Structure 1
């Protein structure tokens, strides 16, 4: 069995409670250098998500990986993963449906970015969200510490393919900041992704113009060997840098990973 199909004990990460506005959450921290916040996809910090976090760490960054749902390091079966997904959909911290407004959790994540920046220094912080957390890095740009946002298959709102999970006045403020500071946001999806469709990327492009830098990978670039939750509940290629990544030279998903790492270096290494 492949290493990333087995449970990961995450022993190379320090598990720390980090409080923002008096609210503590567990965060897995590892590495040295400028901070990058890695936000897991459904159903949590899987071995695939941890593998990506290690790539970020080994590229010269301190990874802060908040535990937002699921069981850290565990390969969940289809039923366990579905229960976690259902709980997140009704949680007050997330806005799974409706669009047009940011999830409340993004306020805590902006506070985490400030903590990470104060601990690690450098010009600012990177942030990458995936799937359920996919749009969070964009909303986090409302905080001036966040300089390098990456959206991987942003999937909320679940009920509106052309919807985006951020308020109009917030995305206008993000766009104004990007123009003022010459910043961009990278975004990734597979062409046939049922949860992050072309309409959503078109909505981001309409709001952000050329500050939104989209990358659309062919479905043929996706790994077909996936864990049980994905086999049962994710019918199309979806997770660009985790589950559906093919870890081999020349693969489009590896090129996406390397572009993200280069983006973090460019923005944060100064």
Structure 2
């Protein structure tokens, strides 16, 4: 278990449907709990910078480590290696449509622990890339009251005919039952789901946000950053990671506005 300066770390285990899952969790900060679910290529230094901003804003962050060492720099070789491992993992469903990955139940248990430890109204979460939509099925856990999705990339739409790949872009990576439960909570409890992405991100297709808007209506509040050709802020059309690798903290940039909206959402929901 590798240590991180300023963080407590602990192993967290949970068994669901005969699948035992254990990962190290890194905890820091004070205040209401927020679960940060890292993306490919791992818990990189930019992920820790996001966590630090949330800690400074008055939150306790819980960072489960799904793969790789924490705090390393992003690299293409490591990302490719982890992708291969994830494709055969029993914890993550990389290509299955309308099915909730087993790791989500482990994350629900982590939400319960975080709420017990930090108290308050409830727990927030943010998923990114391969964990992008996980905050929605996490809403089966009653303590989850501030779900955020960022550049959701699953299910991956890389195989099949052109028609099937296009249809896949509207698909979700959680079960219909989990979808209906989340919709029910939004309708009966007034919960909101915040979403963030770059407009031309082909890994997190725009059609997926359109599907979520169709399902949740006004309960889904998207913020889409223009990354099209000749956009005024000079974003590459391949820009993907809103809060980490492609984030700029410079005042007046769209990613800084996204961060301000994120912090405002968590403050209003959790404090």
2:137 to 139, 152, 172: 139
User: What value does the CA root-mean-square deviation take over the aligned residues?
Assistant: 1.7
Equivalence for 2:13: 19
Number of paired residues?
252
1:109 matched to 2:107: yes
1:70 matched to 2:68: yes
1:138-168 Cα offsets, whole Å, 9 max, x none, are 1101110000000000100011211111111
- Output the CA distance in 2 between the equivalents of 1:170 and 1:222: 38
1:176 matched to 2:170: no
Equivalence for 1:186: 194
Equivalence for 1:4: none
1:64-90 Cα offsets, whole Å, 9 max, x none, are 000012221111432122101221122
Contact 1:101–1:167 at 8 Å: present in 2 too?
Answer: yes
1:240 to 231, 242, 251: 242
Equivalence for 1:203: 211
Equivalence for 1:122: 120
TM-score by length of 1: 0.89
Gaps of 5+ in 1: 1-8, 225-234
Contact 1:223–1:245 at 8 Å: present in 2 too?
Answer: no
Map 1:40-59 onto structure 2 (within 5 A).
Answer: 40-59=38-57
1:238-265 Cα offsets, whole Å, 9 max, x none, are 0001111112011110110111111111
1:100 matched to 2:98: yes
TM-score by length of 2: 0.89
